[in-house]
Amino acid sequence: METVIQTSNLTKFYGKSRGIENVSITVNKGDIFGFLGPNGAGKSTTIRTILDFIRPTGGNATVFGLDSRRDSVAIRRRIGYIPGDFGLYGNMTGWKFLEYFGKTRGGYDKISAREYAKKMDIKLDRRMKEYSRGMRQKVAIIQAFMNNPDLIIMDEPTSGLDPLIQQTFMDILREKSSQGTTIFMSSHVLSDVEKVCNRVAIIKEGSIVAEELVDDLHKKSGKVLEVQFSEEVSPDVFKMDGVSGVTKLNSHMRIMVTGNLENVLKEVSSHRLTDISIHQMTLEEIFMHYYEGGK
């Protein structure tokens, strides 16, 4: 597989404050790569370092096999970018902004821009200071996609979008990926990532704690038991190997199991039950598992 983004021990400190430390990730051609973490975990710092907006303290990054610092201009010609905070020229109409932005790249695909505007359900003949938060985000998406870049890097791209447009946006991502475009998507909206991404990395306190195929991450994660007991049961009875967490609310108990499922079920069945369900951990549950200290 062709590698599009490669970072090796990428590190950034702001004085004594940690930004990111020893971040090593690989993004391949055609991936929709989810970069997960809460605010302050280091997602935006990683993106800005890869794009050479800020300089690393240590380590290195390559994009399309080119050095992210030495070859940053050549790299940006092939990239669409949606920043987490997208500034607009308020007195420009949407069309004027796209035309202006396109010229700075050396080209403006009007037909493609119109197609994306139609898909995103936005009229671009109004001045942008009249736009809502969601409308501004739609313009950010159009400018990133309109010239058919080889790589699109997005920082919280669904922020401000209504659910229907979010679904349209996910369909666009799948279509672009099938055409060979690589998508790097930073987000803390885990349900969005789970819908479209084939690979994810989880960043915690500036360091990568997992990088997996989404399918493999699900397979390794374990099960969640939702149990309703008809008698009083102490969570302590589930303190055993393979149980990574137990929460209780009245007679309802939620048990996260990463192994030893047979013994857990034996203990469950030794008590009187009202209801039970078992499901694979969702991406959100896996994410919380890592952030709560699970291995």
d(CA 50, CA 67) in angstroms, rounded, equals: 9
The token pair that represents 105 in the structure block: 């790249």
- Give the pLDDT confidence score for residue 103 in this predicted structure: 81
**How much is the pLDDT for 109?**
84
Ranges 30-44, 159-173, 278-292: which has the least confidence: 278-292
Rounded average pLDDT over 235-254: 90
The Cα-based distances of 14 to 43, 62, 186 in angstroms read: 15, 22, 21
pLDDT tens digits for 136-155? 999 999 999 998 999 999 99
pLDDT tens digits, one per residue of 66-116: 999 999 999 998 999 998 877 777 788 989 989 888 887 777 788 999 999
The pLDDT value recorded for residue 274 is: 93
10 or 293, which is more confident? 10
Query: Residue 184 pairs with which residues in a beta bridge?
Result: 33, 153
Classify domain 222-291 by CATH number. 3.30.70
Q: Which tokens in the block code for residue 123?
A: 């009229």
Label residue 68 exposed, middle or buried (CB < 10 Å: 0-12, 13-18, 19+).
buried
In CATH, the number for domain 3-218 is 3.40.50.300
User: Over the chain, what is the mean pLDDT?
Assistant: 90
Which tens digit of pLDDT belongs to each residue from 92-104? 898 998 988 888 7
Nearest Cα to Cα of residue 197 among 81, 36, 82: 36
Domain ranges of the chain: 3-218, 222-291
Strands 199-204 and 32-36 turn out to be: parallel
pLDDT band, very low/low/confident/very high, at 206 (cuts 50, 70, 90): very high
* Higher pLDDT among residues 217 and 293, named by residue: 217
The pLDDT of residue 293 is: 61
Contact 72, 52 (CB under 8 A): yes
